[in-house]
């Protein structure tokens, strides 16, 4: 069994969803985890409060209380691709995440994630991801090295002062001439069914991307994507809306049956470049991944 060395954290909601205890909340919060597993974790002392005091099966629900627990899985796959450190100083670390590797623990992955790999390789236990990429998306991720300045970098993401550039490949039809064209996409994205998928609906726009074609072959095109907002699956949904879903996407335009990762066919989406004004030094920063997606 794989057990996380570092606790996961959640804050109980301000509005009580109709439970009496922390245990009852955990059971409804994580419906895919059997209730007996939560009872056993609590019995084993693997669920605790911010001050280290243990949660018991009778601990009362308290709004906004922070609860820490240790994730467990019977076994987890080993992702056969390597990460690369692009930049590191006393405040941040920028790394390339390969496809299929999670940024932080989640689902069936506990130790096999970018954050834990980097903690082991650098020896920096305080290392913490400042943002996320989908597990199937490759590209650059910024980590905080110094807890004392972490909030300043978090604020960049909160106030949208980070500019990201992605690349994506999609299949095109014979005779389509897209090279040099640009699309300004604004629409409203909401949760669909299942809840991890998103869809476009009527109403005020809450998502915005600028997309242009920078290269094409007979059957494929390479796009540069600049998200202005950061909604879940935004770029994948916007490419689908244009009529060119990203190559090897298992969610869009149609949800594919659950299957093992096909390492020979990764999602063709790459977080290529990140730019921002460093909140500590006030100097411009720009980091790029040297690799590119390649057309056939």
**Domain positions in the chain:** 2-73, 84-160, 164-270
CA distances, 122 to each of 96, 115, 118 (Å): 15, 11, 6
Q: Which CATH superfamily is domain 164-270 in?
A: Pseudouridine synthase (3.30.2350.10)
Residue with tokens 């590119």: 292
- Which class for 29: exposed (0-12), middle (13-18), buried (19 or more C-beta within 10 A)? middle
Pairing outcome for strands 269-277 and 138-144: parallel
pLDDT higher than threshold 80 for residue 20? yes
**Domains 84-160 and 164-270 are alike in CATH topology:** yes
User: In the predicted model, what is the mean pLDDT of the chain?
Assistant: 93
Domain 2-73, CATH: 3.10.290.10
Q: Which helix (H) or strand (E) holds 268?
A: none
Tokens of 155: 């604020």
Q: How far apart are CA 102 and CA 124, in angstroms?
A: 19
Q: Which residues contact 262 (CB under 8 A, 6 or more apart)?
A: 248
- Residue 39 class from Cβ within 10 Å (0-12 exposed, 13-18 middle, 19+ buried)? middle
CB atoms within 10 A of CB 141: 25
Helices 22-29 and 35-43 meet at what angle, rounded to 10? Answer: 140
d(CA 27, CA 24): 5
Q: What's the pLDDT at 74? A: 66
Each residue of 136-167: pLDDT tens digit?
A: 999 999 999 999 999 999 999 999 999 999 99
Question: Is 232 a residue whose pLDDT tops 70?
Answer: yes
Q: 39-92 pLDDT, tens per residue?
A: 999 998 989 999 999 999 999 999 999 999 887 766 788 999 999 999 999 999
Q: What is the pTM of this model?
A: 0.81
Strand, helix or coil at 132?
coil
- CATH architecture for the domain at 84-160: 2-Layer Sandwich (3.30)
Dihedral over Cα of 267, 272, 276, 278: its sign: positive
């Amino acid at each position: 069994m794989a057990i996380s060395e570092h606790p996961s954290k959640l804050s109980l909601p301000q509005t009580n969803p109709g439970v009496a205890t922390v245990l009852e909340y955990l059971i409804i919060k994580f419906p895919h985890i059997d209730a007996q597993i939560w009872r056993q974790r609590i019995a084993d002392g693997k669920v605790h409060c911010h001050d280290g005091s243990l949660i018991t099966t009778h601990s009362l629900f308290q709004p906004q209380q922070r609860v820490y627990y240790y994730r467990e899985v019977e076994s987890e796959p080993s992702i056969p691709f390597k990460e690369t450190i692009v930049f590191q100083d006393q405040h941040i670390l920028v790394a390339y995440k390969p496809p299929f590797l999670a940024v932080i623990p989640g689902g069936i992955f506990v130790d096999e994630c970018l954050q834990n790999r980097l903690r082991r390789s650098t020896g920096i236990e305080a290392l913490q991801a400042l943002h996320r990429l989908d597990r199937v998306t490759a590209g650059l991720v910024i980590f905080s090295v110094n807890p004392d300045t972490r909030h300043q970098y978090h604020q960049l993401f909160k106030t949208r002062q980070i500019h990201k550039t992605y690349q994506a490949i999609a299949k095109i039809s014979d005779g389509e001439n897209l090279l040099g064209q640009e699309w300004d996409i604004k629409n409203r994205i909401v949760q669909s069914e299942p809840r991890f998928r998103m869809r476009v609906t009527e109403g005020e726009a809450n998502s915005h991307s600028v997309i242009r074609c920078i290269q094409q072959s007979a059957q494929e095109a390479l796009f540069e994507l600049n998200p202005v907002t950061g909604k879940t699956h935004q770029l994948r949904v916007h490419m689908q809306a244009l009529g060119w879903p990203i190559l090897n996407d298992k969610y869009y335009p149609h949800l594919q049956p659950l299957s093992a990762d096909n390492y020979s066919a990764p999602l063709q989406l790459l977080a290529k470049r990140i730019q921002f004004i460093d909140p500590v030094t006030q100097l411009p920063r720009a980091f790029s991944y040297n690799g590119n997606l390649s057309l056939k």
